[in-house]
Every structure is written in C-alpha cells, then in structure tokens.
Amino acid sequence: MRTTLGPRGKIVKKQDQQTAIDNYYDALIALTAVAQDSLEVHEAIFVGMRFYGKLAFDCAPSVDIAHKTINAGIECAFEEYEERLELENDKPEFLTANPTH
C-alpha cells in the first residue's frame, strides 16, 4: 500500500485517504438531504458551488490553482454522469423495459 504525506507531516496510507474522501462525500450527501425541504435543487447547487469556490480561492496557493481545482471537480462530476448514463443505456432490455401487464 502506497503512502503519502498528510496534514502536519503525518504519513497517511492511500486507502485511509480514499476512505476519508468517501466519508466526506457521504457526509455532503447527508447534509444535502437536510436542505432538500427548504431549498430548490438549483439553489442548493449554487450555495455549494459558491462555498467551495470561495474555499478554493481563499485556500489555494494561487488563483490559477483554484480555477484548475474547481474545473477538475466539475469535469470529474460530468465524467461520472456520463458513465452512469452509459451504464443505464447498456442494461439489457428486460431490466429497463416497463412491464405491460
């Protein structure tokens, strides 16, 4: 298992990092569920993009890196969206067809 240097110089195993990323993603989904009764989807998206955009510009070492980070996140989301559509389109007809009886 490969390792990387984490916060405060601590050595972190790559699997631990992936688990942390997965847990953070799951927490964001849970937080989004809390807001679903009070915000429209486009409003929640805007707030999240604004929050993470501000975080990127405030914390990245340069504006260029902030832009690249934001764009990489959007590209990753789009690729996952396309992959999901491909998987849905590749399902056998009996899994996607609506029963008529």
Question: How many other β-carbons are positioned within 10 Å of the β-carbon of residue 39?
Answer: 14
d(CA 69, CA 54) in angstroms, rounded, equals: 12
Cβ atoms within 10 Å, residue 90:
9
**Reported pTM:** 0.66
Distance CA 78, CA 84 (A): 10
Domain boundaries, the chain: 1-38, 39-101
97 — pLDDT class (breaks 50, 70, 90): low
pLDDT in tens, 1-48: 455 656 666 665 677 888 999 999 999 999 999 998 999 999 999 999
